[in-house]
Amino acid sequence: MASIARLPDIVANKISAGEVVQRPASVVKELLENSIDAGADRIAVTIKDAGKELIRIVDNGAGMNRADALLSVERFATSKITSVDDLDTLGSLGFRGEALASISSVSHFELRTRRAEAALALRFRYEGGVLAEESEVQGEQGTTISVRNLFYNVPARRKFLKSNATEYQHVFEVVKSFVLAYPEIEWRMLNDDEELFHFRTPDMAERLNLFYGDDFASSMIELSEQNDYLSITGFLGRPAMQKRRKLDQYFFINRRVIQNRMLSQAVQQAYGELLVERQTPFVLLFLSIDPSRVDVNVHPAKLEVRFDDERSVRNMFYPVVKRAIQLHDFSPDLAPAAIGSSPSGEHSFRRLSFQDIPGPSITTGELYRHYREGTQHEPPPLRRSTLQESDMFAGPIHDSGRVREGDAALGSLFPSPLLPDEATPLPKEPEQKIWQLHNKYIVCQIKTGLMIIDQHVAHERVLYERAIDVMAENVPNSQQLLFPQKVEFRPWEYELFEEIREDLYRLGFNLRLFGQRTVMIEGVPQDVKPGTEVTILRDMIAEYQQNASKLKLERRDNLAKSYSCRNAIMTGQKLSLEEMRSLIDNLFAARDPYSCPHGRPVIIKLSLDQLDRMFSRK
C-alpha cells in the first residue's frame, strides 16, 4: 500500500491559508485587491473586534455571475491570467487564485455579488471552505464579502494573534496604503461601528492631513521624474517628521504596495546626515516600470518584488530623491499647540500619526536672505570660497607660533567663506539683532520671524564639511607649531592612530614618530585652538573608535565626524557679535546647513504667524 497520498482540498486549503492569511490584515489586503481589480470606484471597509469577529468589504465593481462566483472560491481559479506569459504583462493586483479559497477555509465566509444586468444578487455562504447555502437576495451592483470568526477552526492560529490594538493597527495600515495609492476611489472605513474616515474626493492633501495631522501635506516635497525606463512620482517628508518605524514609508510599483530593501536603503542614504540615527523619513513614492522588468510572483503575500536590473533602478531612483532633498530647506518650524484642543477627542487612528508640521518650506537662499534682511546686515558679495584660495586661512602670527586671526581664540574657528572682492569696511549696524542665549544658542531676527541656531552643532557642520573637502582634495591645511607637542598613546590608541595616520596627515596633522607609541605633533589644522593640540588628537581617536563600534562609517567620514565633534565650540562658550555673524555666514555657505554630521537639527524657525497664534492674536 502506498504511503504517500494526495491531500484533500480542504486540508490543502488550510495549509495554504498559513501563507496567504497570516492575520486579519492579510484578509483585508487580499479582498481590497480583488475589489480594485473588479473596477470599483467606491469601497467600504468594516471591521469588528480588530477583524477577528468580522471583516466586511463592500465594492461597486463589476460583480460576478453564478459560475464565476462559485469558481472564485476554488483554489487556483482566477480571471487575471490564463498562462505563465501573462505574468510578464500583469496589470492586476491579484493573479494567484488562492486568496478566497484560503480565507473561506478558515472562517465563516459569505459572498454576495450582482452584475449590472442581473435583477437579483447571488449569495453564497461557506463554513470552513464548504458551501453551506446558496440563495438569491436583493443587492446593489458589485460584491460584498463578509469574513466572520477568522481561524475559528484553526485554534492554534487564532491563539497566536496579537492584541486587538496590534491587529487593528495592522489592518489600518493596510487600508491606509490603499487609500493613498488610489485617490480616485471613494473610501470609507468603520471600526466597531465608528466611522474613521470617508473620502469622497480624490484630494491627496485631504487624505494626508487626516492621517498625519493638519497642514501635513503642505510640508511635503513633491517629486516627479520620468524617463523611458522608469517614472517616479510622490512625496517625501521633511526630516522633522522622521520616525523610528518604517510603517510610514510607502513604495508602490505599478500601484502595487511593496516592500523593497534596496529602495528603503536608497532613500535613507539620500537623506544622509539629515536623519538622526535609526530614524526614517516619511516616503510616499510611486514607481512605474514595464511589468516585464519586475517579478511580483516572489511570495504568496505579493509584497516582495524583484527587478530584472536592480542596479539600474537604484541608479535612477537615488539621484532623483537626493536632488529633491537638496533643493529644500529643512530647518524645522516650532509648532504651537492648538489652543483648546483635547487629545481625548481624537479618533483612535490618530495615535498612529506624526506630529503636525506647519507651514511650507523655503529654500536655503531665501532663509539666508531673510536673515540678512532681518538683521539689516549687508554682506559682502556672496562668493563661495574654494580650498585653492590661499587667503582662506590667512592671519597674523600669534606668539604661540600658531597662525590665527586676531587675539580672540575663536577667530581661527570661523574663517569666513564669504570673501569680498575688494577690501571694503562693513557698514555699522543701527542696532544688534543677533543674541547669544545662555552661551548656547544664537537667536536672530529674520524677516519672517525668528531663527535659533545651536552654536555647537552649527560649528560642527562647518568643520565637518571643511574636513571632508580638505581630505578629498589633498590641499595644504597644516599650521606648524613653534613648540611641538608630545603624545604618548596607549596600545589601543596607537593601533587606531596607525589605521588613520594617512588621513590625519591629509586633514592637517603633521605628526612624527618619536619612540614606541609616542608621537610628536609638529603641525595641526588651522581650526585647532592653541593649547588643545594633544587633547584634540586623543579625543578624536576616542570618538573615532566609538563611532566605528556603533556606526558603519567610511573611514574618512568617521574621521571628519570625530574631528568636527571634538573641535567645535562648546556649549557655554561666549561669542562676540562678529563671531556669531561669522559662524552664521559659514553655516549658510555649507552644503547642508540644517543638520549636524550626526543628524541633529542646527536651525529652528519660529514665524511671526506662529508667535501671533501663541499669544492669541489670530
- Predicted confidence (pLDDT) per residue in 371-406, tens digit: 777 666 444 444 343 333 333 333 333 334 444 333
Query: Pairing mode, if any, of strands 283-289 and 249-253?
Result: parallel
pLDDT band at 536 (very low <50, low <70, confident <90, very high): confident
What's residue 190's pLDDT? Answer: 96
Contact 176, 248 (CB under 8 A): no
What's residue 96's pLDDT? Answer: 61
Helix axes 364-375, 577-588, angle to 10 degrees: 160
- Per-residue pLDDT for 18 more than 70? no
- CA dist., res. 437 & res. 448, Å (int): 20
Which single residue is written with the C-alpha cell 500583469?
Answer: 90
CA neighbor of 34 nearest in space, from 8, 15, 62, 6: 62
Q: Where are the chain's structural domains?
A: 9-201, 211-352, 364-608
CATH architecture of 211-352: 2-Layer Sandwich (3.30)
What's residue 276's pLDDT? Answer: 64
Averaged confidence pLDDT in the chain: 79
562: its cell numbers: 570625530
Helix axes 491-507, 455-473, angle to 10 degrees: 70
The string of pLDDT tens digits covering residues 108-148 is 999 999 999 999 999 999 998 899 999 999 999 999 999 99
* CATH 3.10.310.10 applies to domain 364-608: no
- Per-residue pLDDT for 27 more than 90? yes
- CA dist., res. 315 & res. 227, Å (int): 13
- Per-residue pLDDT for 279 more than 80? no
Three-state secondary-structure class, residue 204: helix
What's residue 144's pLDDT? Answer: 97
- CA dist., res. 499 & res. 611, Å (int): 52
- CA dist., res. 81 & res. 90, Å (int): 8
Per-residue pLDDT, averaged over 68-80, amounts to 80
Q: At 211, give phi and psi (nearest 5°).
A: -75, -35
Per-residue pLDDT, averaged over 172-189, amounts to 94
Strand ranges in 85-182 using DSSP code E only, listed in sequence order: 108-114, 121-127, 130-137, 142-148
Per-residue pLDDT, averaged over 300-319, amounts to 82
What's residue 261's pLDDT? Answer: 85
What's the residue count for the chain?
A: 618
Instruction: Identify the helix (H) or strand (E) that includes residue 48.
Output: strand 42-48
- Per-residue pLDDT for 191 more than 90? yes
Contact 141, 176 (CB under 8 A): no
Contact 519, 497 (CB under 8 A): yes
Question: What is the pTM (predicted TM-score) of this model?
Answer: 0.56
Full 3-state SS string of 495-549: HHHHHHHHHHHHHCCEEEECCCCEEEEEEEECCCCCCCHHHHHHHHHHHHHHHHH
In DSSP terms, 226 is beta-bridged to: 231
- CA dist., res. 61 & res. 44, Å (int): 12
In DSSP terms, 119 is beta-bridged to: none
Per-residue pLDDT, averaged over 549-576, amounts to 83
- CA dist., res. 322 & res. 461, Å (int): 19
Percent of the chain with pLDDT strictly greater than 70: 74
CA neighbor of 182 nearest in space, from 303, 301, 286, 289: 286
More reliable by pLDDT, 5 or 441: 441
- CA dist., res. 229 & res. 591, Å (int): 31
Per-residue pLDDT, averaged over 277-302, amounts to 78
Radius of gyration of the chain (CA): 31
What's residue 7's pLDDT? Answer: 62
DSSP string covering 412-451, please? Answer: GG---SB--SS--PPPPPSS--EEEETTTEEEEEETTEEE
What's residue 363's pLDDT? Answer: 60
The string of pLDDT tens digits covering residues 489-510 is 888 888 888 888 888 988 889 9
What's residue 79's pLDDT? Answer: 64
Three-state secondary-structure class, residue 230: strand
pLDDT band at 259 (very low <50, low <70, confident <90, very high): confident
206: its cell numbers: 485631504
More reliable by pLDDT, 430 or 50: 50
CB neighbour list of residue 379: distance below 8 Å, 6 or more residues apart: 372, 418, 585
What's residue 115's pLDDT? Answer: 95
Burial class of residue 510 in the structure, from the number of CB atoms within 10 Å of its CB (0-12 exposed, 13-18 middle, 19+ buried): middle
CB neighbour list of residue 19: distance below 8 Å, 6 or more residues apart: 102, 299, 300, 301
CA neighbor of 107 nearest in space, from 186, 180, 26: 26
More reliable by pLDDT, 538 or 94: 538
Give residue 475's identity as a one-letter amino acid code: V
The string of pLDDT tens digits covering residues 344-379 is 333 333 333 222 323 334 566 777 777 777 666 444
484: its cell numbers: 611641538
Identify the CATH homologous superfamily for domain 9-201: Histidine kinase-like ATPase, C-terminal domain (3.30.565.10)
| Helix spans in 41-120 (H) | 66-72, 99-105
Q: Averaging pLDDT over each range in 39-43, 242-246, 299-303, which range is the top one?
A: 39-43
- CA dist., res. 579 & res. 583, Å (int): 6
- CA dist., res. 571 & res. 455, Å (int): 7
Per-residue pLDDT, averaged over 59-84, amounts to 82
Per-residue pLDDT, averaged over 309-323, amounts to 89
pLDDT band at 338 (very low <50, low <70, confident <90, very high): very low
pLDDT band at 251 (very low <50, low <70, confident <90, very high): very high
447: its cell numbers: 524677516
What's residue 610's pLDDT? Answer: 85
